[in-house]
Amino acid sequence: MARRRPRHPSRDRSVECELKFRVAGPREHARVRALLRRRGAKLEGKYAEENYRFNGPGKSTRRITLRLRVLDGGPRGVLTAKGPASFVGGVKVREETEVEVKDAHATLDLLAELGFRVEFVYNKHRAMWTLDGVVTVTLDSLDFGSFVELEGPLEVLPEQARSLGFDSKHALKDSYSVLARKHLAAARKKPA
């Protein structure tokens, strides 16, 4: 008689709730920074990211985003898998699993050995703030624009966005990966 596979308890996965807004640029970032300071938000840090977006095994049948972020040129990084998004009151909600990696470049090599390939790379400069102890507000600059992103509990995000001058009805639905892919495709179409 075949033995039954042992059942393992399901693991809690993180659920990411976010609102992302495109802003006009450095002047708008300065406005938000001033509001964050007035509200007593804490600057957690500033850093640069090199984001590797992958294609590979299982990617054609699952709507999962796999991304490796190399922080400040390495070696530290973060490997992230994000599930498909749903929207609740304009807030993007999706399952997310993140693992800090000690050596992002070795992780990049490991993923290549497993059959994943880098689809594209994009860079981001980020300043991260904590507002009211529960919401992370990031001021992001990328080649394709400037953005403000709020992450935190679903029930507080729309109000926190309003307090910074944003309406959740105008939040972007696209991820940075989608925006980067669109930007790269448009750049390829431009005549040299």
Whether domain 18-189 has CATH 1.10.443.10: the reply is no
Task: Identify the band that residue 64 occupies on the pLDDT scale cut at 50, 70 and 90.
Answer: confident
Phi-psi region of 58 (alpha: psi -120 to 50; beta: other; left: phi over 0): left
4's tokens: 């039954």
Is the bond into 75 cis (omega within 30 degrees of 0)?
Answer: yes
Sheet strands (E) in 56-156? 65-71, 77-82, 86-88, 91-101, 117-131, 135-142, 145-151
Query: What pLDDT score was predicted for residue 6?
Result: 47
Domain ranges of the chain: 18-189
Distance CA 148, CA 127 (A): 10
Lowest mean pLDDT across 34-38, 53-57, 121-125, 170-174: 53-57
**Bigger pLDDT: 58 vs 34:** 34
153's tokens: 């509990």
| Residue 75 · residue 108 · CB < 8 Å | no
pLDDT at 1 over 80: no
pLDDT at 98 over 80: yes
Distance CA 122, CA 106 (A): 19
Query: What percent of the chain clears pLDDT 90, i.e. is strictly above it?
Result: 83
Tell the burial category of 86 from Cβ atoms under 10 Å away from its Cβ (0-12, 13-18, 19+).
exposed
| Residue 134 · residue 152 · CB < 8 Å | yes
Q: Of 111, 127, 2, 137, give the one whose Cα is nearest residue 52.
A: 111
DSSP state letters, 11-65: PP-EEEEEEEEEE-SHHHHHHHHHHHHHTT-EEEEEEEEEEEEEE-TTTTTS--E
> Can you tell me the mean pLDDT for 122-134?
97
Query: What pLDDT score was predicted for residue 5?
Result: 47
Task: Identify the band that residue 59 occupies on the pLDDT scale cut at 50, 70 and 90.
Answer: low
52's tokens: 């590797």
90's tokens: 């304009």
Distance CA 47, CA 126 (A): 6
Distance CA 48, CA 12 (A): 29
> Can you tell me the mean pLDDT for 43-49?
96
Radius of gyration of the chain (CA): 18
Distance CA 175, CA 114 (A): 25
pLDDT at 123 over 90: yes
> Can you tell me the mean pLDDT for 64-82?
92
